[in-house]
């Protein structure tokens, strides 16, 4: 996974209690939780907690615990809400991360999200009371090998390949891509974002596990032109993200990721005998575009509209 770390939390329109941990279904359809009704636009004035000492403690703990992780894999659910057109898109899949610079995330490749039979989500409505229309995202993969980024259109068997400039490889990728998911250093986080604690910080989910809730507001123009607010919910014991929420600058688009903690495997010894997830199998696929990537134009895995910052 490689690109900014933002994908959402669990409040406006997020499916139910994001913190609930559920086992992966054995069928090819992944069920989703109910969502709450929402207005036609995402609220950008949601309250935060002001507690500098507690914030500093959590940021340091997050940095320390995630620094020990060299490999992480799991599954995710993604929900994208368009408040202008009252549309909801859903995706499910797996993700892999290997420090310092490899990542992969799949969308609707082997499993499909549950879609209502009538194609509408009656529990999420716009300002006129109309329910959101629901559809599945097109199958795709995003893979970062450390030197290249592959964006793969599975349905059409095509792909784009973007070369990462040498100065932005290795540990430098954390300056742009994955700070929220895998622990950017606390001082860098505070320099790049206005950090605060969300209202759910210190609460317990349905599984009785305590969560940390962090809110990030961009301080740099490179970030602010692409998103206005990011929220992250961490499992307090492991400091791993269980939900991420991202709001676009207009407040009309919301992207939410849910990461079931019970499906995460960190530093697993079994990884050594598993197929390398960062070597794309592209036999039968057609290359559409090959290009070098400017540091502020690398595609974001969580939201293609987000660009990592230049250092």
**Per-residue pLDDT reduced to its tens digit, 29-82:** 555 544 333 444 555 456 788 889 999 999 999 999 988 889 999 999 999 999
**Per-residue pLDDT reduced to its tens digit, 284-306:** 999 998 887 555 444 444 444 44
CA dihedral 276, 279, 282, 288 (to 10 degrees): 150
- The Cα 163–Cα 161 span in angstroms is 7
**Per-residue pLDDT reduced to its tens digit, 248-287:** 999 999 999 999 999 999 999 999 899 999 999 999 999 9
Q: Where are the domains of the chain?
A: 29-292
pLDDT at 24 over 70: no
Lowest mean pLDDT among 3-7, 52-56, 119-123, 301-305: 3-7
Q: Strands 87-98 and 131-136: what pairing?
A: parallel
Mean residue pLDDT of the chain comes to 79
What pLDDT, on the 0 to 100 scale, is given for residue 29? 59
CA dihedral 24, 27, 33, 35 (to 10 degrees): 130
What pLDDT, on the 0 to 100 scale, is given for residue 18? 29
What pLDDT, on the 0 to 100 scale, is given for residue 7? 31
Percent of the chain with pLDDT over 70: 75
DSSP-based three-state secondary structure for 134: strand
Residue 152 CA, chain-centre distance (Å), reads 18
Q: Residue 70 has what DSSP assignment?
A: S
Instruction: Tally DSSP H helices, then E strands, for the chain.
Output: 3, 18
* Span 125-132, average pLDDT: 91
- Provide the whole-model pTM: 0.78
What six digits make up the tokens of 298? Answer: 């690398």
- The Cα 122–Cα 154 span in angstroms is 30
Q: Say yes or no: domain 29-292 is CATH 3.40.190.10.
A: no
**Per-residue pLDDT reduced to its tens digit, 77-111:** 999 999 999 999 999 999 998 888 888 999 999 99
What six digits make up the tokens of 54? Answer: 């507690």
| E runs forming strands in the chain | 29-30, 48-49, 71-82, 87-98, 102-107, 112-113, 120-125, 131-136, 140-144, 148-153, 158-163, 193-198, 211-218, 229-235, 241-247, 253-258, 265-266, 286-292
């Amino acid at each position: 996974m490689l690109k900014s770390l933002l994908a959402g939390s669990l409040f406006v329109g997020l499916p139910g209690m994001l913190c609930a941990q559920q086992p992966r279904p054995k069928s090819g359809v992944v069920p989703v939780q109910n969502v709450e009704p929402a207005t036609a636009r995402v609220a950008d004035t949601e309250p935060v907690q002001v507690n500098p000492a507690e914030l500093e403690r959590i940021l340091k703990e997050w940095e320390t615990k995630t620094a020990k992780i060299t490999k992480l894999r799991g599954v995710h659910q993604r929900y994208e809400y368009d408040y202008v057109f009252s549309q909801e898109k859903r995706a499910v899949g797996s993700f892999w991360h290997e420090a310092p610079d490899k990542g992969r995330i799949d969308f609707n490749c082997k499993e499909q999200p549950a879609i209502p039979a009538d194609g509408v989500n009656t529990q999420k409505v716009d300002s006129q009371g109309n329910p959101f229309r629901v559809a599945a995202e097109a199958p795709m993969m995003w893979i970062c090998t450390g030197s290249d980024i592959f964006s793969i259109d599975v349905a059409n068997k095509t792909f784009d390949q973007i070369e990462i400039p040498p100065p932005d490889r290795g540990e430098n990728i954390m300056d742009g891509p994955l700070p929220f998911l895998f622990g950017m250093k606390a001082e860098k986080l505070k320099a790049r974002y206005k950090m605060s604690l969300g209202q759910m910080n210190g609460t317990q989910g349905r599984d009785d596990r305590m969560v940390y809730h962090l809110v990030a507001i961009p301080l740099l123009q490179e970030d602010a032109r692409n998103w206005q607010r990011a929220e992250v919910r961490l499992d307090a014991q492991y400091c791993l993200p269980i939900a991420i929420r991202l709001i676009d600058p207009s407040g009309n688009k919301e992207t939410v990721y849910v990461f079931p903690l019970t499906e995460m495997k960190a530093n697993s010894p079994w990884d050594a005998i598993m197929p390398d997830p960062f070597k794309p199998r592209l036999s039968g696929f057609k290359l559409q575009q090959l290009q070098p990537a400017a540091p502020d134009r690398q595609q974001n895995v969580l939201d293609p509209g987000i660009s990592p910052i230049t250092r």
